[in-house]
Amino acid sequence: MVGEEADGTQVVKVWLPMTLAIAAGSASAHAPAPDPVVGTWLVQQPAAPFPLHLYVFNADHTVQQANPDAGDPRTSDSDGKGAWRRKGRSVSGKWVEIMADRTTHKLSGHGEFTFAVTVAADRLTGTGTFTGYDADGKVVAGPIDAPFTGTRVTAP
């Protein structure tokens, strides 16, 4: 819109909402694409007490792992929570779970799973090592090598 000042000069008036919309569109056009690992994965992990897991790699470099609590007959395990980072063509990281004895319902320790994965489209391939610790932090299991594969969960 063009207006006129008191001294007779013409001034172009721009609406604030239009300016904000243009700026927002420009910012989103330059946003980086998320890392290919970001998303939800159905993971086959044959060496684990329960072989099917869900992994969620978040854009903030956190990772979540879940499988059925009843999958391990000795311990009740929490979901795994951890972190990941990109290292060239692969992603490395670690998640940790807390374990309770199914009989006493007391802390029995925790498990740590370190891993490296590569992603090709909607396929994930990885190697990992699980180490179990008792309630005092002493190693009681592993390290156990645990290769795995996964497929991306996508919307229909």
| Domains along the chain with CATH numbers | 39-152 (2.40.128)
What angle is formed at CA 75 by the lines to CA 71 and CA 78, rounded to 5 degrees?
Answer: 75
Determine whether 95 is exposed, middle or buried from the number of CB atoms within 10 Å of its CB (0-12, 13-18, 19+).
buried
SS3 146: coil
What are the C-alpha distances in Å from 105 to residues 64, 65, 69, 74? 24, 22, 13, 11
pLDDT tens readout for residues 58-103: 999 999 999 877 767 676 677 889 999 999 999 999 999 998 888 8
pLDDT tens readout for residues 91-137: 999 999 998 888 888 898 999 999 999 999 999 999 999 999 999 99
Global confidence as pTM: 0.75
Determine whether 126 is exposed, middle or buried from the number of CB atoms within 10 Å of its CB (0-12, 13-18, 19+).
buried
